[in-house]
Structure 1
């Protein structure tokens, strides 16, 4: 499967929010209380990602295959260290797990 990795745009917010919620539900099912997991809705994640993109609070890359965003990561520069980044988030569509995309995203910069 071919993936393109590119900087996220404001048009990617819905896809990023949906991936964030669905992968959270998949990864943490049975590990955290269901009510806590369910409290993070797509609408809340859309607001979070809109603010992140509009304020450039983090650098965000998306992975795309067949014109569909299937994963993303975000990071920021550590304070007091311009050569160190801190990974904030890395999430993939559960259907894409095991295809090496997480590694490719980590190597995007």
Structure 2
């Protein structure tokens, strides 16, 4: 199997949208209701990604991981959205289909998004696999937490390195 990581293009929006929704189900099905997922579709996600990829601001990057040419994950990063920013750079997302865990693609996506720069990220508080991955990469919780009503009050924590 040929595994690659490359910069995303506008032509990737549909595939990223489908992977995004599948990864949400895989990562958060134990934290969110079936109804939450039923209200979000790969087509809606593809529309958001089409817009995002067409309007990437300076300093933002989107990368995709592929297996034999098929998109199986993605990462995005850019200027921190926190006010005030705790780090200049923020990992906005990193998702990889579960069937592709353990092949190094997650690490390659993280490296493409951030390199070894100091950065911050927000993640689900109850996601032990992600905690372990980010800990291996030097990220630690800084004590800040939040929850989103639109995400059924899913609790997130901020990590920094």
Which TM-score bucket, shorter chain as reference?
A: 0.7 to 0.9
Deviation readout 1:11-63 (Å, 9 max, x if unpaired): 11111011100111111112111111221211110111011101114420011
Q: Which has the higher contact order (CA 8 A, sep 6+)?
A: 1
Q: Is the 8 A contact 1:22 1:94 kept in 2?
A: no
- Three-state SS of the structure 2 residue aligned to 1:74 is strand
Separation (CA, whole Å) in 2 of partners of 1:65 and 1:87: 22
Separation (CA, whole Å) in 2 of partners of 1:40 and 1:94: 20
Separation (CA, whole Å) in 1 of partners of 2:2 and 2:49: 26
Give the number of the structure whose residues are more often helix, by fraction: 1
- Give the equivalent residue in structure 2 for 1:53: 53
Tell me whether 1:92 sits opposite 2:93 in the alignment: no
User: In the comparison of the two structures, how many residue pairs are matched?
Assistant: 108
Specify every segment of 5 or more residues in structure 1 that has no aligned partner in the other structure, as ranges. none
- Give the equivalent residue in structure 2 for 1:25: 25
The alignment's TM-score, normalised by the length of structure 2, stands at 0.60
Q: CA deviation at 1:95?
A: 1.3
Give the number of the structure whose residues are more often strand, by fraction: 2
| Bigger CA radius of gyration | 2
Question: Structure 1 residues 48-57 or 91-100, which shifts more?
Answer: 91-100
Q: After TM superposition, which residue ranges in structure 1, 4 or more long, deviate above 3 angstroms?
A: none
Specify every segment of 5 or more residues in structure 2 that has no aligned partner in the other structure, as ranges. 116-161
- Three-state SS of the structure 1 residue aligned to 2:65 is strand
The alignment's TM-score, normalised by the length of structure 1, stands at 0.86
